[in-house]
């Protein structure tokens, strides 16, 4: 069940670095973090905010990518007697993860390197 619709999203930070000295190290580590803001007395029409950051690689790998995205959602279907905040958060996260994965693919392609297609497992808690 969809609890929210995405109103807006934007990239708030993007840092990309190609390390020519480390071309042999293509094994990339991935760090994912984020936080959100949900009103205490949640009801239909309320706004929910989510920030997700992804860091790929480090100074010892062939590339480093640091991206942060901000998402704004509007609650479209919620009943506190039937639903809980965890379901709503999960719904927002699923939508945001799809978009940030697509953005990472586009960014890497735009920089002329093979697309990075992060597996969904990279976003598991």
Number of structural domains found in the chain: 1
From CA 105, how far away is CA 86, in angstroms rounded? 28
Which tens digit of pLDDT belongs to each residue from 99-119? 999 999 998 888 888 788 887
Q: What is the CATH number of the domain that holds 67?
A: 3.10.420.10
Residue 44 lies in a domain: yes
Range of the domain at 12: 4-113
Q: How far apart are the first and last CA of the chain?
A: 21
What are the beta bridge partners of residue 10? Answer: 70
Which tens digit of pLDDT belongs to each residue from 50-91? 999 999 988 888 888 999 999 999 999 877 766 778 888 889
Answer yes or no: is pLDDT of 26 > 90.
no
Residue 125 lies in a domain: no
Identify the pLDDT of residue 89: 87
Answer yes or no: is pLDDT of 125 > 80.
no
Sequence-distant (≥ 6) Cβ neighbours of residue 24 within 8 angstroms: 62
């Amino acid at each position: 069940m969809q609890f929210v619709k995405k109103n807006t999203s934007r990239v708030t930070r993007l840092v990309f670095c190609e390390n020519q000295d480390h071309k042999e190290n293509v094994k990339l580590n991935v760090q994912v973090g984020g936080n959100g803001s949900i009103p205490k007395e949640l009801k239909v029409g309320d706004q929910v905010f989510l920030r997700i950051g992804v860091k790929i690689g480090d100074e010892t790998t062939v590339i480093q990518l640091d991206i942060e995205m901000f998402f704004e959602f509007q609650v479209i279907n919620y009943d506190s007697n039937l639903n809980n905040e965890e379901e709503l958060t999960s719904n927002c996260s699923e939508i945001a993860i799809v978009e940030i994965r697509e953005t990472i693919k586009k960014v890497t392609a735009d920089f002329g390197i093979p697309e990075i297609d992060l597996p969904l497992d990279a976003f598991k808690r």
